Amino acid sequence: MAHARLSPSGAHRWMACPGSVVLEAGYPDTSSVFAREGSAAHELAAIVLDNEDPSAQQYVGKKVEFEDNRETVQWLVTQEMADYIDNYVTLVRDLAQGKTLLVERKVPISHLTGESGATGTSDVVIVDTTNGNLTVVDLKYGMGVRVDAIENPQLQMYALGALEEYGILGDFDSVTMFIHMPRLNFVSEYHATVADLLKFGAEVGAAAEQVRLAQSLDLSNGMSDQALGFFTAGEKQCRFCKAKASCPALRNEVADIVSGSVSAADFADLIPDKVSSETGDNYLPMAMAKVGLIEDWCKSIRAETERRLLAGIKVDGFKLVEGKRGNRRWGSEAEVEDLFKTFRMRQDEMYDLSLISPTKAEKVFKQNPKRWAKVTDLITQSVGKPSVAPATDKRSELVVSNLTDEFRDLIL
């Protein structure tokens, strides 16, 4: 078994942009505190499920151990993490009742990508031979953008790998896929027939072939028009790409948007068939559809410039300087308290006292529903401010009347 270069977790990127694999190969594997927190949460969930522990609560204050970039990491389990993992564990156990539960299982994907011995690791596979169904569950511990299970490339690759690995156990005709994001209280479900998954598998194979063609190109003398054909910029595939700061396709995309040289045909699937006279032209909806992509590109350029300067690599026209200093704080609060007391300061002069927030109160009273019910009666929450979102967003549209319409009679 081998770690997949064309991994399920990166399928949303390399299937859409085969050339990204070539550019990313020149960047070292890195990690972050957020990635390690996610790895710790996965490790805790696996321990609880494998050991058939009642819950994750018994691990609060203890450390879980895992490997990250060839480094052994020990992570302290907090009360918050244990609570969220218990939510996930409850979902998994409910789905697995009366079925076979398999935790953190490597499933083959070489039959999809052509990489010899390549595997992916599915957080949970549930085998139901009675009903001819497999279930794949993926835990995502982040608090960023919601990830939907519907036609999710990563989950579908896990599903096809599970069918390949466990198909001998029974005649399966469908796979149900779940993504659980406990910190966002979000669960997404997608049900697919084996026939549908096999069609997706063919798409994976075709994309993998494009990656191999891109890898065969010689980019030592720059990016040719032929090479550019293997790159496709887009918000989803570019978001976590390590090479986006140096990607010529993304640079060209940003330049086209900023210069206004794009045409309506380039955005036929994003803009209305007819643009109202109030809009004036197609540029605003076209540009708005790419704002997230451009913002991410700007962040990546800044981060790459900083990385090179910190590594001692010269970037013409820029240098490192000391940034804004942090907030002032006491070196020793105990010494400051003793000093203030010699000044005969009153308690209200020495200390700032305030009520705990509703969020902290919820943690205090979560084991006492009756008291929490009384507390909630005293909580107020302002409505969310209007926010621009794509027309495909699942949230209900806010209806805002046109002021011109409201005062038309007065204007006339």
**Residue 62: φ, ψ to 5°:** -100, 170
- How many whole angstroms separate alpha carbon 221 and alpha carbon 412? 66
| CA neighbor of 59 nearest in space, from 93, 83, 36 | 83
> Of 71-75, 101-105, 206-210, 303-307, which gets the smallest average pLDDT?
303-307
What pLDDT band is residue 281 in, cutting at 50, 70 and 90? low
- How many whole angstroms separate alpha carbon 95 and alpha carbon 78? 26
List the structure tokens of 72.
Answer: 């052994």
> Of 49-53, 93-97, 350-354, which gets the smallest average pLDDT?
350-354
- How many whole angstroms separate alpha carbon 303 and alpha carbon 297? 10
- How many whole angstroms separate alpha carbon 116 and alpha carbon 111? 8
- Give domain 2-215's CATH architecture: Alpha-Beta Complex (3.90)
- How many whole angstroms separate alpha carbon 11 and alpha carbon 152? 9
One-letter identity of residue 140: K
pLDDT at 220: 66
pLDDT at 386 over 80: yes
Q: What mean pLDDT comes out for the span 376-394? A: 83
Other CB atoms within a 10 A radius of the CB of residue 267 amount to 16
pLDDT at 293: 86
* 8 Å CB contact between 128 and 14: no
pLDDT at 67 over 60: yes
- How many whole angstroms separate alpha carbon 101 and alpha carbon 184? 25
- How many whole angstroms separate alpha carbon 201 and alpha carbon 157? 7
Per-residue pLDDT reduced to its tens digit, 221-280: 677 778 888 998 888 899 889 888 888 888 888 888 777 665 555 544 444 444 443 444
pLDDT at 121 over 50: yes
Per-residue pLDDT reduced to its tens digit, 132-147: 999 999 999 998 888 9
> Of 50-59, 184-193, 214-223, which gets the smallest average pLDDT?
214-223
Other CB atoms within a 10 A radius of the CB of residue 31 amount to 12
pLDDT at 204: 97
Mean pLDDT of the chain: 87
| CA neighbor of 162 nearest in space, from 189, 137, 195, 199 | 137
| CA neighbor of 30 nearest in space, from 67, 4, 71, 69 | 69
* 8 Å CB contact between 187 and 146: no
pLDDT at 154 over 90: yes
- How many whole angstroms separate alpha carbon 65 and alpha carbon 74? 4
| Three-state DSSP class for residue 126 | strand
Which residues are within 8 A (CB) of 264 and not within 5 positions of it... i.e. 6 or more apart?
271, 282, 286
- How many whole angstroms separate alpha carbon 106 and alpha carbon 121? 4
Residue ranges of domains in the chain: 2-215, 225-310
> Of 343-357, 361-375, 383-397, which gets the smallest average pLDDT?
383-397
pLDDT at 390 over 70: yes
Alpha carbon of residue 76 to chain centroid: 22
Q: Which helix (H) or strand (E) holds 283?
A: helix 283-288
pLDDT at 63 over 70: yes
pLDDT at 49 over 60: yes
**CA distances (Å), 12 to each of 157, 188, 239, 390, in order?**
11, 17, 10, 20
pLDDT at 285: 79
- How many whole angstroms separate alpha carbon 21 and alpha carbon 211? 7
Which residues, in sequence order, are bridge partners of residue 376?
A: none
What pLDDT band is residue 311 in, cutting at 50, 70 and 90? confident
pTM of the shown model: 0.73
| Three-state DSSP class for residue 308 | helix
Residue 404 or residue 54, greater confidence: 54
| CA neighbor of 316 nearest in space, from 305, 307, 301 | 305
- How many whole angstroms separate alpha carbon 88 and alpha carbon 46? 11
| CA neighbor of 156 nearest in space, from 208, 191, 132 | 191
pLDDT at 280: 45
* 8 Å CB contact between 163 and 194: yes
pLDDT at 279: 43
What pLDDT band is residue 349 in, cutting at 50, 70 and 90? confident
> Percentage of residues in the chain with pLDDT exceeding 70?
90
**Entry field: residues in the chain:** 412
pLDDT at 277: 38
pLDDT at 308 over 90: no
pLDDT at 12 over 90: yes
Helix segments in 33-188, DSSP class H: 33-50, 79-96, 110-113, 153-166
pLDDT at 402 over 70: no
Q: What mean pLDDT comes out for the span 71-89? A: 95
List the structure tokens of 379.
Answer: 């909580």
Q: Which helix (H) or strand (E) holds 9?
A: none
Report which DSSP code applies to 392.
Answer: T
List the structure tokens of 77.
Answer: 């389990």
pLDDT at 112: 96
What pLDDT band is residue 348 in, cutting at 50, 70 and 90? confident
